[in-house]
Structure 1
Amino acid sequence: MLTLLYRGPLASCDYDCPYCPFAKRRDSPERLRADRAALERFTSWVAAREEEVSVLFTPWGEGLVRSWYREALVELSLMPRVRRAAIQTNLSGRTEWTSRADLAKLALWTTFHPGQVTHERFLAKSRELAERGVRHSVGVVGLPEHLEAARRLRAELPGSVYLWVNAAEGRTYSDAEAADWTALDPLFSHSRHPHRTLGLPCRTGHDVVSVAGDGTVTRCHFVRTPLGNLYDGTFRLAPEPPACPNTWCDCHIGYVHFEPLRLYEVFTDGILERIPTLL
């Protein structure tokens, strides 16, 4: 089965997180129209595909405040050859649209940003998703000022909702600090340190690829060598997991596919929405 990590032109977000370069960025009307057209083209390509596929939207900005991302997720979830349709989101938008989707296939990878949304509002959204039967994970960035908010969130989230923690970019954690975060997310150790990947096998380029809005295919978001184009049939997958050309990988979207970590055995069918089966 092919997994597609799609990232179109959208680069705007309604939040102002100090650790994000796309905070409060606004897209022009022209860019938004281009993003919508690119997404509709991608969805049509998936609809015409004869083999099974899974899709994760990883926009630079916030997608679910845009109607075309909500509609795309509904449409994809209803396609018989789509196994999973997922998106990364700050969960600031509406949730009632999920009632039109196939909840056996739809999934959300959500992030709580203290300082951008109240604890009560975010928790209510997560509980609403749980009540609707929408698969979703919840995560936070592991900054010291977020620790108490993360602890409170974990205590009040539904027990079935997995809470993950991303190590803050460029931050070194003492063992004591890491222990605090590991108490919330048993898999935090994978995020704490970058993984040395050079010359070692990764599923990206084999059965996982990244797709840009114009259809350019690369093996992942962090290896920019083109593999061809999705729409003209020029891209080719490696017959076996190829060696990674990068020295390090420090992002979950990338290293979850890194073969030596064997994280497919941990997440099984929750790879795209970051929900582990085994802990």
Structure 2
Amino acid sequence: MLTILYRGPLASCDYDCPYCPFAKRRDSREALRADRAALERFCDWVENEPDEVSVLFTPWGEGLVRSWYRRAMVRLSHLPNVRRVAIQTNISCRTSWLADADLDTLALWCTFHPDQVTAPRFLAKTAELADLGVRFSVGIVGLPEHADAARMLRAELPEHVYLWVNAAEGHVYDDAEAAAWETVDPLFSYSRRPHPSQGVACRTGESVISVDGDGTVRRCHFVPDVLGNLYDGSFREALRARACPLACCDCHIGYVHLESLPLYDVFAGGVLERIPLRVG
């Protein structure tokens, strides 16, 4: 099975998070049309791919406020060769469209941004997801000013919903801080520090690839070397086991694929949507 991290040209978001370079950015109409066309082309490829695939959409912006991402999620969820389709989202969009999806296949990776949306509004959306039977995780950036919000989320979310905490970029956590975050996310230790990765075996470039809107294939979002193109099939001959060329990996969508870490066992069945096999 091939796992695909898809990131099209969309770079706009309805939120204004201070730690994100795409906050409140607007794409031009031409850029949105290009993103829509690229996504539809990608979905056509998936539909005609004879082998099993799993797809995680990792847009720079917020995808689900765009109708074509919602349609793509529904469409892919019903394809017999798609094992999982997931997307990273702030869930600011409506949720009714999910009733049309195959919820055995679709999943959501949801992020709470305390300075962008009220906790009651966000929790109401997660309650809607739960009522619909959607598989989802919830997360937050581990900034000191988010600690109270994180504890509140953990108290209010259903016990079976995994609440992950991403280490804030550039923030160094002492042992006391890390222990406090681990009371919210028992797996925070994996996010706390970058993982040494140079020369370490990684599934990216073999069973996991990154694809952009033009179909350019790379091993992951963080290694720029091109393996080929999705649409002419040239990437296939480049798929092979390989070690990571970077000194370290500090993003979950990257290090989760390192063979030096046990995360395929920890997140068995939920690698793309960041749901561990056992919560808590």
Please give the range of the TM-score, normalised by the shorter of the 2 chains.
over 0.9
Query: Secondary structure of the residue that 1:61 maps to in structure 2?
Result: coil
Hey, what does 1:101 align to over in structure 2?
101
Query: Secondary structure of the residue that 1:71 maps to in structure 2?
Result: helix
1:115 Cα shift?
Answer: 1.0
1:121-173 CA-partner distances (Å, limit 9, x unpaired): 00010011011100000000000000001100110001111000000000001
Alignment of structure 1 residues 103-252 onto 2, 5 Å = 103-236=103-236, 240-252=240-252
Match for 1:46: what amino acid?
Answer: V
Match for 1:236: what amino acid?
Answer: R
Note if 1:57 corresponds to 2:67: no
Separation (CA, whole Å) in 1 of partners of 2:128 and 2:109: 15
TM-score by length of 2: 0.98
Separation (CA, whole Å) in 1 of partners of 2:28 and 2:221: 24
1:24-55 CA-partner distances (Å, limit 9, x unpaired): 01100000000000000000000001100000
Separation (CA, whole Å) in 1 of partners of 2:40 and 2:239: 29
Query: Secondary structure of the residue that 1:270 maps to in structure 2?
Result: coil
Separation (CA, whole Å) in 2 of partners of 1:6 and 1:237: 20
Match for 1:247: what amino acid?
Answer: A
11-20 vs 229-238, greater mean Cα deviation:
229-238
Separation (CA, whole Å) in 1 of partners of 2:239 and 2:116: 44
Match for 1:157: what amino acid?
Answer: L
Match for 2:97: what amino acid?
Answer: W
Separation (CA, whole Å) in 1 of partners of 2:156 and 2:110: 16
Note if 1:66 corresponds to 2:66: yes
Hey, what does 2:262 align to over in structure 1?
262
Hey, what does 1:23 align to over in structure 2?
23
Separation (CA, whole Å) in 2 of partners of 1:237 and 1:255: 24
8 Å CA contact 1:205, 1:237 repeated in 2:
no
Mind listing any 5+ residue stretches in structure 2 that lack a counterpart?
none
1:238 Cα shift?
Answer: 5.6
1:240 Cα shift?
Answer: 4.8
Number of aligned residues: 279
Q: Percent identity?
A: 71
Separation (CA, whole Å) in 2 of partners of 1:116 and 1:73: 25
Separation (CA, whole Å) in 2 of partners of 1:80 and 1:248: 36
1:83-117 CA-partner distances (Å, limit 9, x unpaired): 00100000100111000000000000000000100
Alignment of structure 1 residues 30-45 onto 2, 5 Å = 30-45=30-45
8 Å CA contact 2:109, 2:274 repeated in 1:
yes
1:236 Cα shift?
Answer: 2.5
Separation (CA, whole Å) in 2 of partners of 1:269 and 1:4: 16
Mind listing any 5+ residue stretches in structure 1 that lack a counterpart?
none
1:269 Cα shift?
Answer: 1.0
Query: Secondary structure of the residue that 1:259 maps to in structure 2?
Result: coil
Structure 1 vs Structure 2 CA RMSD: 0.9
